[in-house]
């Protein structure tokens, strides 16, 4: 998965985002609206918690028996006339897709929004071989036209409001109707006109999938606009890139996940369109179907007993919408196609913690637990975050906190050293502001004050006061 080039650690990226008041207004507006609606949609089902526990159990069972179910899926997709490919990493997946597009003799592909292909950077790989990739999801189109990055799993252009989108369409869309306003229905209609010709002439479609059903070889794509149906139905060749964790054992399991996903993501009883297909249907839709099963770090995640639960994720994005950190920092600060709380645990697991951004992501949370409460598959995100924090600290020998705690241990082991340290610390009052807190300490203590204020020390320590008075001025 791409670590966006030159991506700074989360605190630096977030500092810029938080200073952007327009961005904060857009995010607060959108996430507040969806939070209220989601709560209402969920409250309508009085067995929500039971559905959630069943979903968790089904996913855990699938992950524990993943090899068996993947082989079964492969058999059933092949039996239904599809071709199954396996990709160990992003480069391998991109090469397989690029090859298939070339074999189909296409110089263009229409694409329905897919997290897996964002993760592999497929568009860039295809464009490198001269294939034009047309993103057909409205929000992806907004991102592509604006030469921007996605900032939300479900609504990649959540950081843009209608006025900004209207301006973008008028500036970059050659066929935008004259007099196009910022009215959302008009903007949607402009996107319809703009993409119509692409759909009708496309010979290759590229998608991901929300679910893959092992016992029937079915793939399921859940969407709203109909661009998914267009990409999955009209081209001659269809290529679906699907993470190996998207599996469900049986057709019946859809009764659980189709109840949970739409209510969690767009707060609807059901999303407008869902397409389900198995291999090739003679005379109906693409007659050449390829499924690319993607590992790309998932088997490493699977080997981690605590972190494994992140593979239950169904990409609903409810955790983003309730997260106080996401609401203020926005999606770009997470430096990954997966932003928000789920991204904070998924990206470091899929990519490792070597880069500054990945090492900082486990700390991009207040551990308030709202994400865990709303997660439809009950991923305990705070638990994974805490464990990853420990891992980051262990892998960085000179982590400032380690030095500080080492020094604290030295001081606390001797009453004499402690008394001396406390006398020195009292002098810290001199640098405290009128708020009674210290904004900035010199290095290495700046590691503490970079991310929080330090309270001013009291004028006298308890030990000093006791030695002076024996409690007499009580």
Partner 1 sequence: MSEAREEILARIRLATAAVATPEETDAAYAALQRPYRRAHHDPAATDVVALFAERAADYRAVVERVPEDELPGAVAAAVDSLPSVVVPDGLPAGLLAGLRPEVRLVRDEPPLSAAELDRIAGVVTGCAVAIAETGTIILDHGPGQGRRALTLVPDFHLVVVRAGQVAADIADALARLDPARPHTLISGPSATSDIELIRVEGVHGPRNLHILIGG
Looking at residues 31 to 50 of the shown chain, list those that interact with partner 1 (rule: CB under 8 A): 31, 33-34, 44-47, 50
274 vs 347, beta carbon nearer partner 1: 274
**CA neighbor of 54 nearest in space, from 287, 293, 248:** 248
- 108-111 and 132-135 beta bridge pairing: parallel
156 vs 341, beta carbon nearer partner 1: 156
For position 65 contacting partner 1 by CB under 8 A, the verdict is yes
Distance CA 321, CA 370 (A): 10
9 vs 63, beta carbon nearer partner 1: 63
To the nearest whole angstrom, how small is the minimum distance from the Cβ of residue 224 to partner 1?
A: 5
To the nearest whole angstrom, how small is the minimum distance from the Cβ of residue 459 to partner 1?
A: 52
- In Å, what is the CA distance from 311 to each residue of 215, 314, 320, 342? 20, 8, 17, 10
To the nearest whole angstrom, how small is the minimum distance from the Cβ of residue 130 to partner 1?
A: 24
For position 131 contacting partner 1 by CB under 8 A, the verdict is no
To the nearest whole angstrom, how small is the minimum distance from the Cβ of residue 200 to partner 1?
A: 4
210 vs 360, beta carbon nearer partner 1: 210
For position 384 contacting partner 1 by CB under 8 A, the verdict is no
80 vs 392, beta carbon nearer partner 1: 80
362, containing H or E segment? none
Between residue 234 and residue 273, which ones bind partner 1 under the rule CB under 8 A?
234, 244, 249-252, 254-256, 258-259, 266, 268-273
Find the helix packing angle between 21-43 and 254-265, rounded to 10°: 140
Angle at 342 between CA 339 and CA 347, to 5 degrees: 65
Maximum Cα interatomic distance, the chain, rounded to a whole number of Å: 95
200 vs 430, beta carbon nearer partner 1: 200
> CA 241 from chain center: how many Å?
17
To the nearest whole angstrom, how small is the minimum distance from the Cβ of residue 62 to partner 1?
A: 9
For position 375 contacting partner 1 by CB under 8 A, the verdict is no
To the nearest whole angstrom, how small is the minimum distance from the Cβ of residue 166 to partner 1?
A: 9
- In Å, what is the CA distance from 181 to each residue of 164, 190, 192, 225, 365? 11, 10, 15, 20, 38
Between residue 66 and residue 85, which ones bind partner 1 under the rule CB under 8 A?
66-72, 80, 85
- 204-207 and 237-243 beta bridge pairing: parallel
158 vs 438, beta carbon nearer partner 1: 158
Torsion angles phi and psi, residue 388, rounded to 5: -70, -35
7 vs 141, beta carbon nearer partner 1: 141
The residue written with tokens 């991109």 in the block is 94
Between residue 173 and residue 232, which ones bind partner 1 under the rule CB under 8 A?
184-185, 187-189, 191-192, 195-196, 199-201, 213, 216, 218, 224-227, 229-230
Roughly how many angstroms between the first and final C-alpha of the chain, as a whole number? 63
To the nearest whole angstrom, how small is the minimum distance from the Cβ of residue 251 to partner 1?
A: 5
- 247-248 and 437-438 beta bridge pairing: unpaired
Six-digit token string for 157: 């252009």
For position 360 contacting partner 1 by CB under 8 A, the verdict is no
For position 306 contacting partner 1 by CB under 8 A, the verdict is no
To the nearest whole angstrom, how small is the minimum distance from the Cβ of residue 199 to partner 1?
A: 7
If binding means CB under 8 A, how many residues of this protein chain bind partner 1?
100
For position 318 contacting partner 1 by CB under 8 A, the verdict is no
Beta carbons of 256 and 205 less than 8 angstroms apart? no
């Amino acid at each position: 998965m791409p670590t966006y080039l030159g991506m700074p650690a989360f605190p630096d990226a977030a500092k810029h985002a938080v200073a952007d008041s327009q961005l904060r207004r857009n995010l607060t507006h959108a996430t507040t609206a969806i939070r209220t609606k989601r709560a209402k949609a969920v409250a309508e089902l009085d067995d929500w918690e039971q559905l959630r526990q069943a979903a968790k159990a089904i996913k855990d069972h699938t992950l524990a028996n993943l090899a068996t179910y993947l082989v079964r899926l492969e058999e059933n997709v092949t039996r239904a006339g599809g071709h199954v490919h396996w990709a160990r990493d992003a480069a391998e997946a991109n090469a397989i897709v690029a090859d298939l597009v070339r074999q189909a003799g296409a110089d263009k592909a229409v694409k329905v929004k897919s997290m897996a292909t964002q993760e592999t950077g497929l568009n860039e790989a295809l464009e490198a071989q001269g294939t034009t990739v047309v993103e057909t999801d409205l929000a992806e189109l907004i991102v592509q036209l604006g030469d921007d990055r996605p900032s939300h799993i479900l609504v990649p252009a959540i950081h843009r409001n209608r006025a900004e989108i209207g301006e973008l369409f008028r500036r970059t869309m050659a066929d935008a109707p004259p007099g196009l306003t910022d009215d959302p229905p008009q903007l949607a209609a402009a996107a319809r006109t703009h993409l119509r010709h692409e759909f009708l002439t496309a010979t290759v479609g590229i998608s991901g999938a929300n679910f893959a059903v092992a016992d029937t070889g079915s793939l399921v794509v859940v969407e709203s606009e109909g661009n998914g149906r267009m990409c999955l139905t009209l081209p001659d060749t269809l290529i679906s890139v699907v993470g190996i964790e998207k599996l469900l054992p049986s057709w019946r399991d859809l009764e659980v996940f189709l109840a949970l996903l739409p209510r969690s993501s767009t707060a609807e009883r059901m999303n407008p369109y869902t397409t389900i297909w198995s291999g090739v249907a003679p005379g109906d839709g693409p007659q050449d179907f390829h499924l690319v099963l993607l590992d790309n770090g998932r088997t490493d995640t699977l080997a981690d007993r605590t972190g494994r639960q992140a593979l239950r994720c169904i990409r609903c994005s409810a955790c983003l919408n309730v997260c106080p950190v996401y609401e203020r920092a926005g999606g770009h600060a997470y430096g990954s196609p997966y932003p928000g709380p789920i991204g904070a645990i998924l990206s470091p697991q899929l990519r490792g913690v070597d880069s500054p951004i990945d090492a900082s992501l486990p700390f991009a949370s207040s551990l308030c637990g709202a994400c865990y409460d709303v997660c439809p598959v009950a991923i305990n995100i705070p638990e994974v975050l805490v464990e990853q924090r420990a891992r980051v600290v262990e892998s960085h020998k000179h982590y400032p906190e380690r030095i500080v705690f080492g020094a604290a241990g030295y001081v606390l082991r001797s009453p004499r050293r402690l008394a001396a340290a406390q006398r020195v610390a009292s002098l810290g009052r001199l640098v405290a502001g009128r708020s009674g807190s210290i904004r900035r300490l010199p290095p290495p203590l700046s590691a503490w004050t970079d991310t929080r204020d330090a309270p001013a020390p009291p004028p006298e320590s308890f030990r000093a006061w006791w030695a002076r008075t024996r409690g007499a001025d009580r």
